[in-house]
Amino acid sequence: MSTSLEGRKAVVTGAAQGIGKAIAKALAEAGAKVVISDINGEGAKAAAADIGHGAVGVTCDSTKVDQVNKMLEDAAENGAIDILVNNASIVPYIAWDDVDMEHWQKIIDTNLTSVFIASRKATDMMRAADRKGTVLNIASNAFYAGTPNMSAYVAAKGGVVGFTRALATEVGKYGIRVNAVTPGLIDSDGVKGSPHAESFGFVEMLQAMPGKGQPEDIAKVVAFLVSDDAGWMTGQCVNVDAGMIRL
């Protein structure tokens, strides 16, 4: 078995830090030419410089169709990318009584609509180039747990799971695979600076195995799922959370 991605073109959205950056690094180390896309352009460029292996950082708002389309066209270099990882996300912590329409729409746009925007363009390009590519969506085990203070987020990530299954059915006949990963609570940059950082003790009690999940734990699974070793897998949602949720 080998997760070699030599010669593949990959795009990872929201990859300036945390899980996205770890995924970009894993793909680059496996041989892929990686474009790190993030609304924080300077952060994306810094991540690319840190990763090396020819990685490139670009500024892109994943909720803007024109920006996403241009970013993917540039990354494809007059063809199509082979790998799209939809990682861009906002992880809020807000009580249900404080959820208003503005918050709801922002979370849905960033965590769900962005997945559609990038997948729409990427799969169109893959089909036009007769490229048997793969789309990998980052969802969350919060969808299964119904985590409190995250209602819009849970709804959006549940949508990602459903979209993954449906899109896999739509594009499978073209040889395009679509899968998702549902991480548990991860010791990432974003979590460390949020109220979620206080939840590790409770979450660890629910896990089958002790410890804090690291971004690299998710990246390793993603690298496998986008490789030829997972070539007979599509429409699947792989839970990576030390057994907190036992499906």
Q: Which has the higher per-residue pLDDT, 1 or 160?
A: 160
Task: Supply the range of the domain harboring residue 202.
Answer: 9-239
The predicted structure's pLDDT at residue 247: 77
Kindly report, residue by residue over 142-180, the tens digit of the pLDDT: 999 999 999 999 999 999 999 999 999 999 999 999 999
Is residue 247 in a domain?
no
- Residues marked active site are found at 153
Total structural domains in the chain? Answer: 1
- Specify if 1 maps to a domain: no
pLDDT digits (tens, 9 = 90+) for 105-148: 999 999 999 999 999 999 999 999 999 999 999 999 999 999 99
Burial of 174 by CB count in 10 Å (0-12 exposed, 13-18 middle, 19+ buried)? middle
The alpha carbons of the chain give a radius of gyration, in whole angstroms, of 17
Residue 215 has pLDDT above 80, yes or no: yes
Let me know if residue 245 belongs to a domain: no
pLDDT mean across residues, the chain:
94
pLDDT tens digits, residue range 2-31? 679 999 999 999 999 999 999 999 999 999
Q: Note whether residue 131 is domain-resident.
A: yes
pLDDT at 102 over 90: yes
Task: Measure Cα distances from 9 to 23, 56, 82, 136, 231 in Å.
Answer: 14, 11, 5, 14, 17
CATH number at residue 198: 3.40.50.720
Whether the per-residue pLDDT at 1 is higher than 60: the answer is: no
Q: What is the pLDDT of residues 74-86, one digit of tens each?
A: 999 989 999 999 9
Q: Is 64's pLDDT higher than 60? A: yes
Give the per-residue pLDDT at 246.
Answer: 87
pLDDT band at 201 (very low <50, low <70, confident <90, very high): confident
Q: Which two tokens stand for residue 75?
A: 């990354």
Has residue 141 been placed in a domain? yes
Q: Cα angle at 106 between 101 and 107, to 5 degrees?
A: 100
